[in-house]
Chain A
Amino acid sequence: MSNDATYHGPSEVVTTHDVHHDEHHVHHHKETFITKYVFSQDHKMIAKQFIVTGIVWAIIGGLFSVLFRLQLGFPNVDFPILETFFGRWAKGGHIQPEFYYALITMHGTVLVFFVLTAGLSGTFANLLIPLQIGARDMASPFLNMLSYWFFFTASIVMVSSLFVQTGPASGGWTSYAPLSALAEASEGSKVGMDLWLVSMALFVVSSLLGGLNYISTILNMRTKGMSMTRLPLTIWALFFTAILGVLSFPVLLSGFILLLFDRHAGTSFYLSDIVVNGHVLDNEGGSAILYQHLFWFLGHPEVYIIILPSMGIVSEVLSVNSRKPIFGYMAMIGSLFAIAILAFLVWAHHMFVTGLNPFLGSFFVLLTLLIAVPSAIKVFNWLTTIWRGNLRLAPSTLFSIGFVSLFISGGLTGIFLGNSTIDIHLHDTMFIVAHFHIVMGVASFFGMFAGVYHWFPKMFGRDINHTLGYIHFWVTMIGAYLIFWPMHYEGLAGMPRRYLDLTPWVSFNKFQTLNEMITIVSIIVFAVQLMFVFNFFYSMFKGRKVTSTNPWGANTLEWTTPINPGHGNWPGEIPEVHRWAYDYGKDGREFVMQTEPIGTNESKDH
């Protein structure tokens, strides 16, 4: 279908844009440190800002998980060093319950929103959208810059909440009301919760500014010949991600605003019939479950906001490194579309045991299991893509293969949970923790790593050390399965999540050695991530310089730019596109770039 001669690139818009930026280039020498590195409007620099901030957050979030895993693995051991660092939060070298819950809350919030949403979409949407569609920058570079700075401000507020007297929010990343609404119910529901809400509100603004920009850029600024069906799958994935975010984040924000009212304005949106600490509250008529509906209306799409960019990256990386077209390009777009639609219609599967009407619940069961169909299609298409390919197993390829493996494992456990009957038993147990860490947490990280290893040369003009990349992959892959696979069994035994000591429980105290093993492996995996971070920054400055503009022999437009492209990306005119992005191995040629016109003798297939 990429053979057809139709194209619809708004070429006029692009031309005016051209002129603007060519002028800009003339004045290039006027750029100061501030405009180049801090308040930059260059999408490539903003991408770098997102990834560096994301890395900082990932280290913080990961460190928190090591701390609370210490408690889970060794509930009866004292770690005096913890008291040295955290004072009364870890009295006697023992993590206090409030501190434990603050740690898991911050871990979840930071990794879900700040790392896997901002760090992932922010980095790759910014880097790839203009480069792969053939645009000089985003539709609005200024809003794009604001998007980063709102994220930065949200980060500052979240960090500051770590230092308040009563501690940060501690109601879980979902912050269910009324626990999050009542300052009397928990230390973390005092000022820490307000800061959490303010930070998240700023984050929503950042995400909306970014998302609207990504959507308008993809729709309006494609270069000549770049029809929608010639876009690389990375762009399609980022496109649906942005749509999901734009339609669901505002609902979350509305939920948070109602929560702020309940906290400070005496309203009763979520509160009714409450006696907390022997103190009878006046609120009547609110619904605690309303909060959950508002939260999960974002919460479920959010998990796809996290996974879709990784799916796009993996599709691209697997095709390039198999030297073979992605199998079923249209089916891949179709399944992304189906996932995006269904993602809005399944939120109540997180609420099967809240007293939800069972009849209503049954629709959510049906729609939830329906979402497994497009997921399965994607998996089979990836498998067929590598089948009979000629696989170059670069670190990016390995992480992509790992992604597919994890996505299969975690998707299949989703089928357990989507069936409400089984969810009655498994809800809020360690099975959930295993499910979503495999399918979302680790898998999305793998997609992100694949992207970093693949586009590192484009970002920094240098290559990242591959040997460390291989070590990084193998330790993380083996570690992820060691940590999360056995966790399913704890969940099957009914072990609740968010418990900090299982020893007093007759039903759940049988997993002590397993918990120790998991903790030790997590520490090793965390150390290896630090090694990756080191590799990242070391290679950024000292890595081997890239000598070719197209080191992977890929078809897409970003590899037609100079090795270190300036603001505006192409020194001359933006290239025109003549074919889809996946002509690998066609007519015996290793790869055919999108800019090459269709030859007269070229075979017609595809």
Chain B
Amino acid sequence: MTTFFIIAILALGFLITFQIAKASEYVSVLRGLEKARRQSNRINAFLLLLFLIGGLIGVYFCNESLKGRVLGEAASVQGEEIDLMLKITFYITGIVFFITQIALFWFAYKYQESDKRKPFYYPHNNKLEVIWTVIPALALTVLVGFGLYYWFKITGDAPKEAMQIEITGKQFGWEFRYPGRDKIFGKKYFRNVDPANNNPMGQIWDDAANRDDIWMEQEMHCVVNKPVKLIIGSKDVIHDVGLSHFRLKMDAVPGTPTTMWFTPKYTTKEMKVKENNPDFVYEISCDQMCGKGHTGMRGIIVVETQAEFDRWMAVKKPQYLVAHPDKDPSVKPAATDTTKATAAAVIIEAKGNFAKRKD
């Protein structure tokens, strides 16, 4: 009903506009086309001036009302560099924007048709052409210079002490693998992928490095102020690990692993306070169209202190043991009263190991 109403109103508005337009055409024929043309020339010249003024106010207003909604301070060291580049570019292009737009609309208003003016025959001037070739070229050289400096810094090798995490996209979600205490990812092969048998990553169990690798879904943890290196892959189509608060993103391409590293500056808890939002979480957004569930491909990164991280990691069970319960000391069919004790022992052992890997 409302839809019908809206369509009816649109149609009516349309009809009225058309009738007015037709009438104004008749009137102008009666009054003399030339006179009518000159009048509409004046009106439109004035509107162009108005558009310039209104537009400049609008640009200011838009900036004022939306800048608070753009993400706050970058939450990674790399993100700060990107924000700085953004700022430099913003000022340089901003100056050009105002000069050229003002010139355009001002000229259009100022040089509107008038009997008093003879247009100036001015076909070329090589000096001017050189000026406006060289100045933009210089400005762009500055931008390229800064840009590439940071580009190589950000895309360069991760520091050796970086924590490594493997992240894999699939339709529609994220999976993570930690290398465990040996800090080495075990080999995997896509034909081994078999979630039903607890091998979602296709790990090759014969590889000893796989024995302690830990697998999890949707939520990843890392440590504040400690570089993290993500090894990014995909199982099916191209996805993209988008980390807007860290200002980073990198595609997840099936068959071709990619990497990205960064150093988070604030824990999730600190960000909740900084953003004044108790619901704040670092989100992973899939930034590459990947099918019907693309919009919902949300992952979460928890940034925390080393102690919190260790406590969290301590209770994780390697995927090898999940897939091979017979090898798992904690689920060995033993005397009922000893089960608990063994499990506790394993946890304590694991904790010790994680404490060791901190160094």
Instruction: Tell me the A residues contacting B by CB distance below 8 Å.
Output: 79, 81, 97-98, 101, 170-172, 176, 178-179, 182, 185-187, 271-278, 280, 284-289, 322-331, 353-355, 358, 361-362, 365-366, 369-370, 372-373, 376-377, 379-381, 383-384, 386-393, 398, 401, 404-405, 408-409, 412-413, 415-416, 419-422, 424-425, 427-429, 465-468, 470-471, 474, 477-478, 481, 485-486, 489, 492-494, 496, 498-501, 504-508, 510-511, 514, 527, 530-531, 534-535, 544, 582, 584-588, 605-606
Given A422-B147, A500-B295, A493:B70 Cβ within 8 A: yes
CB pair A387–B17 under 8 Å, yes or no, is no
Q: How far is the CA of A286 from the CA of B280 in the complex (A)?
A: 40
Q: Are A383 and B104 in contact (CB under 8 A)?
A: yes
* B14-A392 in contact (CB<8A): no
CB neighbours (8 Å) of B79 from chain A are 425
Knowing A416-B93, A494-B244, A531-B18 are in contact, say whether A507-B253 is a contact too (CB < 8 A): no
5 A-B pairs within 8 Å (CB atoms) are namely A390-B114, A390-B117, A392-B41, A425-B247, A498-B289
Bound complex: CA of A362 vs CA of B144, how far in Å?
9
User: With A405-B101, A408-B97, A466-B40 known to touch, is A510 a contact of B69 (CB < 8 Å)?
Assistant: yes
- B residues less than 8 Å from A79 (CB atoms): 3
How many Å lie between the Cα of A172 and that of B288 in the bound state?
Answer: 10
Known: A408-B100, A492-B71, A585-B121. 14 other contacts (CB 8 A): A97-B294, A327-B124, A366-B148, A372-B136, A376-B133, A386-B108, A391-B41, A392-B113, A412-B96, A419-B85, A421-B147, A470-B44, A493-B71, A498-B295
Residues of B within 8 A of A405 (CB): 101, 104-105
Interface string of B309-337 (1 = CB under 8 A from A): 00000000000000000000000000000
CA distance in complex: A505, B125 (Å)? 54
- Given A97-B295, A179-B291, A289-B253, residue A412 in contact with residue B48 (CB < 8 A): no
Cα–Cα distance between A538 and B251 once the two chains are bound (Å)? 50
Could you say which interface size class chain B belongs to? 35 or more
The 8 Å CB contact of A329, one of B3, B124, B133, is B124
Instruction: Tell yes or no: B359 within 8 A of A by CB.
Output: no
Q: Please state if B256 and A496 are interface contacts (CB–CB under 8 Å).
A: no
With A276-B236, A322-B111, A584-B119 in contact, is A505–B285 under 8 Å at CB? yes
Is the Cβ of B292 less than 8 Å from the Cβ of A424? no
Q: How far does the alpha carbon of A326 sit from the alpha carbon of B293 in the complex, in Å? A: 52
**Are B144 and A366 in touch, CB under 8 angstroms?**
yes
Residue of A nearest to B236 (CB): A276
Asked if residues A478 and B51 are in contact (CB atoms below 8 Å), the reply is yes
Residue B155 CB within 8 A of the other chain: yes
Q: Please indicate the chain B residues that have their CB under 8 angstroms from the CB of A584 in the complex.
A: 119, 121
In the complex, chain B residues whose CB is within 8 Å of the CB of A322: 111, 119
Which chain A residue shows the least CB distance to B115? A390
Cα-based distance from A81 to B5 in the complex (angstroms): 12
A496 surroundings in chain B (CB, below 8 A): 242, 285-287
Interface string of B266-307 (1 = CB under 8 A from A): 000000000001011101011111111111101000000000
Q: A178 contacts B238, CB within 8 Å? A: yes
Nearest chain A CB to B120's CB is how many angstroms away?
4
Q: Tell whether A373 pairs with B236 under 8 Å between CB atoms, given A355-B250, A383-B100, A421-B151.
A: no
Structural contact, B69 and A425, CB atoms closer than 8 A: no
Contact status A179-B247, CB under 8 Å: no
The residues of B that contact A422 with a CB separation of less than 8 Å are 82, 85-86, 89, 147
Q: Which residue of B lies closest to A175 (CB)?
A: B289
Q: Is the CB of A276 within 8 A of B47?
A: no
Please, how many angstroms separate the alpha-carbon atoms of A458 and B59 in the complex?
39
**Chain B facing A: main interface SS:** helix
Q: Which residues of B contact A276 (CB under 8 A)?
A: 171, 235-237
The contact of A286 among B29, B236, B255, by CB within 8 Å, is B255
A606–B123 contact, CB under 8 A? Answer: yes
A383 → B minimal CB distance (Å): 5
Which B residues are closer than 8 A to A by beta carbons?
Answer: 3, 10, 13-14, 17-18, 20-22, 24-25, 29, 37, 40-41, 44-45, 47-48, 51, 55, 58-59, 62, 66-67, 69-71, 79, 81-82, 85-86, 89, 92-93, 96-97, 100-101, 103-105, 107-108, 111-114, 117-125, 128-129, 132-133, 136-137, 140, 143-144, 147-148, 150-152, 154-156, 170-171, 190-191, 193, 195, 202, 235-238, 240, 242, 244-245, 247-251, 253-256, 258-259, 277, 279-281, 283, 285-296, 298
Q: Are A176 and B289 in contact (CB under 8 A)?
A: yes
Residues of A within 8 A of B259 (CB): 355
Given A275-B236, A373-B137, A420-B147, check contact A185 B171 (CB 8 Å).
yes
Which residues of chain A come closer than 8 Å to B47, judged between CB atoms?
474
Which of B41, B152, B247, B288: most chain A CB closer than 10 A?
Answer: B288
Contact of A377 among B67, B124, B132 (CB under 8 A): B132
Complex formed: what's the CA distance from A280 to B170 in Å?
13
Q: Knowing A373-B140, A506-B280 are in contact, say whether A424-B247 is a contact too (CB < 8 A).
A: yes
Contact B21–A499 (Cβ < 8 Å):
no
Q: Please, which residues of chain A bring their CB within 8 A of the CB of B240? A: 353, 428
B62 near A280: Cβ-Cβ < 8 Å: no
Indicate if the CB atoms of A467 and B21 lie closer than 8 Å. yes
A514 to B66, CA, bound (A): 9
Quick one: closest A residue to B27, CB to CB?
A467
Which A residues touch B108, using CB under 8 A? 386, 391, 393, 401
Question: Contact between B69 and A353 (Cβ–Cβ < 8 Å)?
Answer: no
Contacts of B286 in A (CB 8 A): 496
Closest 4 CB pairs of A and B: A494-B244, A272-B255, A355-B258, A358-B155
A507-B44 Cα distance, complex, nearest whole Å: 43
Nearest Cβ on chain A to B289's Cβ, whole angstroms: 5
Q: For the complex formed, measure the closest distance between the CB of B111 and the CB atoms of chain A, giving whole angstroms.
A: 5
Verify B144–A365 contact, CB threshold 8 A: yes
Contact of A489 among B70, B89, B137, B151 (CB under 8 A): B70
Residue numbers in B under 8 Å from A478 (CB-CB): 51
Given A358-B155, A369-B140, A393-B112, is A324 in contact with B293 using a C-beta cutoff of 8 Å?
no
Whether B119 and A323, one on each chain, are in contact in the complex, defined by CB atoms closer than 8 angstroms, is: yes
Most buried by A among B51, B117, B132, B250: B132
Chain A minimum-CB-distance residue to B286: A496
- Cβ A353 vs Cβ B121 within 8 A: no
Contacting residues, chain A, for B292 (C-beta < 8 A): 97-98, 101, 170, 186-187
* A176 partner residues in chain B, CB cutoff 8 A: 237-238, 288-289
The chain B residue sitting closest to A79, CB to CB, is B3
- In the bound complex, CA of A327 to CA of B136 (Å): 19
Cα–Cα, bound, A362→B285 (Å): 26
In the complex, what distance in Å separates the CA atom of A289 from the CA atom of B238? 9
> Chain A residues near B237 (CB, 8 Å)?
176, 178-179, 182, 185, 276
Contact A275-B121, Cβ < 8 Å, known A79-B3, A178-B237, A355-B253 = no
Q: Within the complex, what minimum Cβ distance (angstroms) separates B294 from chain A?
A: 6
- Inter-subunit contact B254/A389 (CB<8 Å): no
A383 and B85 contact, Cβ closer than 8 Å, known pairs A355-B253, A389-B120: no
